[in-house]
Structure 1
Amino acid sequence: MKHLTDTDLHLLSDQLQAMRRSVLDEIRGASLDIEATLQPQDHEVRTHADEAEVERLGDVRFAEIEIDQARLLDIEQAQQRMAVGRYGVCIDCGDPIPRERLMAQATAIRCAACQAAAEDRLRR
């Protein structure tokens, strides 16, 4: 974290907090959508196709919530690393993650080279 100024850390902390609020809002919104979709509409005639569409939309919303929960975990872990002084340090090589990379992706856990290597390993 020594390569980051106090101003950088403040900006990144604010960015993480804004990201966290946004993800929580998305989770709440998706949850409300699921509830509304699953509520039976007494005045509507429903076909099997309608029921299948409701189920499909529910599945999509649940998948979106899972993605948002993973993003929330990444954000919270970045905030924790910041709190303990390990923010901005690559988990693989231990080198500082460049400021520009963190400004673009505040939850980054690896420098660009190590991230590319990790993605390479996943593709194999």
Structure 2
Amino acid sequence: MRHLSTTDRHTLHQQLEQLKRQVLEELRASAPSAYLVPAEGEHEVKSHADEAEAERAADVHMAEIEIAHTRLEEIERALARLADGRYGICEDCGAEIPRTRLFAQPTAIRCTACQAAAEARHRH
């Protein structure tokens, strides 16, 4: 974390906190809509197409909630790394993650080279 100034760390902390607030707001906003999905046997499905569309919409909603929870976990882990001095260090190779990458992707856990290698492994 030596490559980050005190101002950088403060700015990144603020950026992470803002991202956290945004994700929490997304989760709060999505919670009431969970009650809009009718319980089994309570809905008035007109056709199989309507039922399929209602199921698809519920699946999409649940996927969005899972993505938001994952983002929140990534933000929380980044804040923890920032607090304990591990922030900005690649988890794979131990090199410093470039400052520009951290400002573009404050939850980054890998340097660009290691991230590209990780993505290549997932594609194969």
TM over 0.5: yes
Gaps of 5+ in 2: none
RMSD: 1.9
Which blocks of at least 5 consecutive residues in structure 1 are unaligned?
Answer: none
Quickly say closer, same or farther: Cα 1:45–1:93, change in 2 above 3 A.
Answer: closer
Q: How far apart, CA to CA, are the structure 2 residues paired with 1:20 and 1:92? A: 25
Is 1:90 equivalent to 2:90 in the alignment? yes
1: distance between equivalents of 2:38 and 2:7? 47
Native 8 Å contact 1:38 1:54 kept in 2: no
- Tell me by how many angstroms 1:45 deviates: 5.7
Deviations 1:97-123 (A, max 9, x none): 010000000000000011011111111
3-state SS of 1:86 partner: coil
Report the alpha carbon displacement of residue 53 of structure 1 after superposing the two structures with TM.
Answer: 2.5
Match of 2:55 in 1: 55
| Amino acid corresponding to residue 119 of structure 2 in structure 1 | E
Taking structure 2 as the reference length, what is the TM-score of the superposition?
0.89
In structure 1, give the amino acid aligned to 2:4: L
TM-superposed CA distance for 1:88, in Å, is: 0.3
TM-score by length of 1: 0.89
Determine the structure 1 residue equivalent to 2:81. 81
User: Number of residue pairs matched?
Assistant: 122
Deviations 1:18-43 (CA, angstroms, capped at 9, x unpaired): 1011111111222222212437xx9x
* Equivalence for 2:71: 71
Aligned counterparts, 1:109-124, within 5 A: 109-124=109-124
